Structure 1
Amino acid sequence: MKTVLISGASIAGPALAHWLHHHGFAPTIVERAPAPRAGGQAIDVRGVALDVVDRMGIGTQLRAARTRMRGMSMLDGAGNEVHRSTESTFSSGQLDSEDVELLREDLTHLLYERTRADTEYIFGDSITALTESAGGVRADFERGASRTFDLVVGADGLHSHTRALTFGPEDRFIHHLGTHLAIFSAENFLGLDNWQMWLREGSAGYGIYPARDNTELRITAGFEAPPLAGGYDYRDTDRQKALVADALDGLGWETPRLLKAMHSAPDFYFDSMAQIRMDSWSRGRVTLLGDAGYCASPLSGQGTSLALVGAYVLAEELGRNPDGHAIAYARTEHRMRPFIALNQAIALENPGGPAAQETVDRAKSAIDLDAGRRPA
Structure 2
Amino acid sequence: MNQRTVLISGAGIAGPTLAYWLARHGFHVTVVERAAALRSSGSPVDVRGPAVGVADRMGVMPRLREAATRVTGITLVDGRGRRVGRVDTRALRRATGSREVEIPRGDLATILFEAARDDVELLLGDSIATLSQDPEGVDVTFERAAPRRFDLVVGADGLHSTVRRLAFGPEQDFVRHMGLYVATLPLDGSAGHGQEMVMYNTPGRAVAVHPSHGGVAAFMYRSPQVPDFRHGDVEQHKRLLAAAYASAAWRVPELLARVREADELYFDSVSKATVRQWWNGRVALLGDASSCVSLFGDGSTLAMAGAFTLAAEMGAAPDDHESAFRRYQTRHSVLTEPKQQNVTRGAALLIPATWRGIAARNLATRLWPLAAAAGWAGRRLTPRRDDVADAQAL
Question: CA-to-partner distance for each residue in 1:143-184, whole Å, 9 max, x for gaps?
Answer: 111100000000000010100101101111112211000011
Matches within 5 A, 1:277-356: 277-299=274-296, 301-353=297-349
Structure with the larger helix share: 2
SS in 2 for 1:94: helix
Provide the residue aligned with 1:66 in structure 2.
68
Q: CA RMSD in A?
A: 2.0
Q: C-alpha separation between the residues in 1 aligned to 2:328 and 2:111?
A: 25
Question: Partner letter of residue 306 of structure 2?
Answer: G
5+ residue gaps, structure 2: 351-367
* Alignment counterpart, residue 268 of structure 2, candidates 260, 268, 271: 271
Provide the residue aligned with 1:219 in structure 2.
217
Question: Partner letter of residue 290 of structure 2?
Answer: G
Q: C-alpha separation between the residues in 1 aligned to 2:178 and 2:385?
A: 19
Q: Quote the offset at 1:14 in angstroms.
A: 0.4
Q: Quote the offset at 1:297 in angstroms.
A: 1.3
Q: C-alpha separation between the residues in 1 aligned to 2:29 and 2:114?
A: 15
- Cα contact 1:136–1:151 (8 A) shared by 2: yes
User: What TM-score does the superposition give when structure 1 sets the normalisation length?
Assistant: 0.91
Question: CA-to-partner distance for each residue in 1:105-142, whole Å, 9 max, x for gaps?
Answer: 11111012111111100011111110012321000111
Q: C-alpha separation between the residues in 1 aligned to 2:107 and 2:385?
A: 25
* Alignment counterpart, residue 26 of structure 2, candidates 16, 24, 27: 24
**Which segment is superposed worse, 304-313 or 67-76?**
67-76
- Cα contact 1:39–1:184 (8 A) shared by 2: no
SS in 1 for 2:177: strand
Provide the residue aligned with 1:44 in structure 2.
46
- Cα contact 2:76–2:200 (8 A) shared by 1: yes
Matches within 5 A, 1:77-92: 77-85=79-87, 87-88=88-89
User: What TM-score does the superposition give when structure 2 sets the normalisation length?
Assistant: 0.87
Question: CA-to-partner distance for each residue in 1:50-104, whole Å, 9 max, x for gaps?
Answer: 001101111111122211112221112443321123x228xxx934332111111
Q: C-alpha separation between the residues in 1 aligned to 2:393 and 2:234?
A: 44
Q: Quote the offset at 1:363 in angstroms.
A: 6.6
Provide the residue aligned with 2:128 in structure 1.
127
Provide the residue aligned with 1:233 in structure 2.
230
What count of residue pairs does the alignment treat as equivalent?
Answer: 361
Q: C-alpha separation between the residues in 2 aligned to 1:366 and 1:277?
A: 25
Q: Quote the offset at 1:289 in angstroms.
A: 0.2
Q: Quote the offset at 1:352 in angstroms.
A: 2.9
Provide the residue aligned with 1:255 in structure 2.
252
Change in CA separation of 1:371 and 1:66 when aligned onto 2, cut-off 3 Å? closer
Question: Partner letter of residue 367 of structure 1?
Answer: A
Q: C-alpha separation between the residues in 1 aligned to 2:108 and 2:393?
A: 26
Change in CA separation of 1:251 and 1:371 when aligned onto 2, cut-off 3 Å? closer
Change in CA separation of 1:36 and 1:369 when aligned onto 2, cut-off 3 Å? farther
Question: CA-to-partner distance for each residue in 1:26-60, whole Å, 9 max, x for gaps?
Answer: 11010111011344210001111100110111111
Change in CA separation of 1:291 and 1:366 when aligned onto 2, cut-off 3 Å? farther
SS in 1 for 2:172: helix
5+ residue gaps, structure 1: none
- Cα contact 2:179–2:224 (8 A) shared by 1: yes
Provide the residue aligned with 2:163 in structure 1.
162
- Cα contact 1:205–1:222 (8 A) shared by 2: yes
**Which segment is superposed worse, 141-150 or 254-263?**
254-263
SS in 2 for 1:253: coil
Question: CA-to-partner distance for each residue in 1:208-245, whole Å, 9 max, x for gaps?
Answer: 01123xxx111111110011113x22111111011111
Q: C-alpha separation between the residues in 2 aligned to 1:190 and 1:289?
A: 34
